[in-house]
Each structure stands twice: as structure tokens, then as C-alpha cells.
């Protein structure tokens, strides 16, 4: 009996190791996709999604990887005009993120991607604000999250509840800190330009309260990005 139990434990341990060995590479790839440092082609995304979906049951780490691979697949779909595929992938993102949060409720990155997905599908509503508030609470100053979060935050700034609006303003302050990596100011400029004039004004107002250097660099980046957008926009006959 002891021998049989030992063999069973050994088999279970090997199965867990083998599962982790196969999924670890895709989880790592999803982390790079999540942070914006890697873009995977559709075929690789499909392979990674299939690998992580095959796990039974998946853990929070694998569900997180699955959510971000589906999100990248949604971006690929909309870039190719596949609206149905985009909706399908976003629904899969939301499902994986919710399941991941059920297992690991302090995962700020999953809370953020869930908020992003809800906003893209349904616009600003309570289903966006609840996970976004969780994200702010769990990772108020984590830089890579703030850099991703600001794009959604600036779109919500004029309609968000006061506590969320305060958190969004705090992210502007984090990215606009003086004497930091100047790439932060460009991220702010990109997010503000995409969100619209009210967001630009809000960022200018917040940066204008501090050291002049971030404000000046933000304005330079904003002007450059605006010029590129104008040049890429077809002129009307």
C-alpha cells in the first residue's frame, strides 16, 4: 500500500512538472506580450492559446497568460477587419480574466485587462469601474501597469466616479514625474491624444503644476504625434 501510494504521488508530481514545463514558455511569452515587449504572429498566438486551454484545471498563472494571449489575438483580429473574431476574442479575455481573479483576486494585471475588455465591449459602466478600482488598489504605483492603465484611464476621466478620477490623476503624476525616463512622457502624450482634447487638457493641467521639464517634453511629443496623425489622415477632396 505504501509503495502504491508513493508511486501515485510520484506520478502526480511528474504530471504537474510536465504540465508546468509545457505551459511555462507560453506564460512567459504572454508576460512579454502583456508588457508590450513582444508581438506574436497569429499562428503562435493560436498555439499558445490551445496549449493553455488544454490544462485541466489551469492555475491563475496560466489563466493570466491565456487572457493576454486572447487580448493580443483580439488586436490582430480588429487590425485585419475581423469584427466577429475581435468580439469572440474579447469575450475569451473576459472569461479567462474572471477565472484568474477567482483564483488570485489580487492580480492587478487581470483586473486591468478585464476593465479594458469591458470598456471595449460595452463602454464606461460599473463593470469597468469595479475591476479598475481593484487594479488601482492592488498596484497604485507599479510602473508598467500605470503605463498601460493610463490609456483606459484618460478615456474615462471626464465620466468616471470621483475616486476613480483621482486615481487616474495620480497615474498622470506617476508618468509625469520629473527627471525620469522620457519615454513616460511620450506614453502620456499617446494616451492623451487618443483620448481626446479633454484628456490633453487634464494632462497639461496636472503637469503644469510641477517642474516645467515634463510639461515641455509632453508638449513636444504631443505636437510630433499630432503631426504624424495629420500626415497619415487622407485629405478630403
Percentage, residues of the chain above pLDDT 90: 78
Cα torsion 63, 67, 70, 71 to 10°: value is -170
Is there a contact between 66 and 89 (Cβ–Cβ < 8 Å)?
no
Task: Find the mean pLDDT for residues 104-112.
Answer: 97
* pLDDT tens, residue by residue, 31-68: 888 878 788 999 999 999 999 999 988 999 999 999 99
In a domain, 79, yes or no: yes
Domain check: are 126 and 43 in the same one?
Answer: yes
- Please list, in sequence order, all residues whose beta carbon lies within 8 angstroms of the beta carbon of residue 232, skipping any fewer than 6 positions away: none
| Interatomic CA distance for residues 61 and 229, integer angstroms | 38
In a domain, 84, yes or no: yes
Q: Which residue has the higher pLDDT, 17 or 115?
A: 115
pLDDT of residue 8: 37
pLDDT band, very low/low/confident/very high, at 26 (cuts 50, 70, 90): confident
Domain check: are 57 and 149 in the same one?
Answer: no
Residue 5 has pLDDT above 80, yes or no: no
| Interatomic CA distance for residues 135 and 68, integer angstroms | 16
| Interatomic CA distance for residues 170 and 158, integer angstroms | 15
Report the number of distinct structural domains present in the chain: 2
Domain check: are 43 and 135 in the same one?
Answer: yes
pTM of the model: 0.87
Task: Find the mean pLDDT for residues 131-135.
Answer: 98
pLDDT band, very low/low/confident/very high, at 22 (cuts 50, 70, 90): low
Residue 161 has pLDDT above 80, yes or no: yes
Domain check: are 86 and 100 in the same one?
Answer: yes
In a domain, 26, yes or no: no
With residue 20 as reference, give the H or E element that holds it.
helix 2-35
Residue 165 has pLDDT above 80, yes or no: yes
* pLDDT tens, residue by residue, 195-216: 999 999 999 999 999 999 999 9
Is there a contact between 65 and 33 (Cβ–Cβ < 8 Å)?
no
pLDDT band, very low/low/confident/very high, at 118 (cuts 50, 70, 90): very high
Among 109, 139, 169, give the residue marking a domain's end: 139
Which residues span the domain enclosing 178?
140-229
Amino acid at each position: 500500500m505504501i509503495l502504491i501510494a508513493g508511486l501515485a504521488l510520484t506520478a502526480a508530481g511528474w504530471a504537474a512538472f510536465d504540465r508546468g514545463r509545457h505551459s511555462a514558455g507560453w506564460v512567459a511569452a504572454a508576460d512579454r506580450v502583456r508588457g508590450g515587449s513582444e508581438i506574436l504572429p497569429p499562428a503562435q498566438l493560436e498555439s499558445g492559446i490551445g496549449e493553455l486551454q488544454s490544462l485541466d484545471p489551469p492555475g491563475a498563472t496560466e489563466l493570466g497568460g491565456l487572457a493576454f494571449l486572447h487580448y493580443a489575438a483580439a488586436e490582430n483580429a480588429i487590425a485585419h477587419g475581423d469584427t466577429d473574431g475581435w468580439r469572440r476574442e474579447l469575450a475569451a479575455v473576459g472569461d479567462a480574466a474572471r477565472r484568474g481573479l477567482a483564483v488570485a483576486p489580487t492580480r492587478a494585471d487581470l483586473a486591468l485587462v478585464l476593465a479594458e475588455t469591458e470598456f471595449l465591449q460595452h463602454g464606461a459602466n460599473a463593470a469597468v469601474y469595479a475591476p479598475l478600482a481593484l487594479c488601482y488598489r492592488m498596484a497604485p504605483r507599479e510602473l508598467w501597469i500605470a503605463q498601460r492603465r493610463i490609456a483606459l484611464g484618460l478615456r474615462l476621466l471626464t465620466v468616471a466616479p470621483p475616486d476613480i478620477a483621482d486615481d487616474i490623476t495620480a497615474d498622470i503624476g506617476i508618468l509625469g514625474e520629473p527627471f525620469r525616463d522620457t519615454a513616460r512622457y511620450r506614453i502620456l502624450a499617446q494616451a492623451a491624444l487618443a483620448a481626446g482634447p479633454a484628456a490633453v487638457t487634464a494632462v497639461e493641467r496636472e503637469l503644469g503644476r510641477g517642474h516645467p521639464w515634463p510639461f515641455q517634453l509632453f508638449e513636444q511629443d504631443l505636437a510630433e504625434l499630432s503631426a504624424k496623425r495629420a500626415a497619415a489622415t487622407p485629405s478630403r477632396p
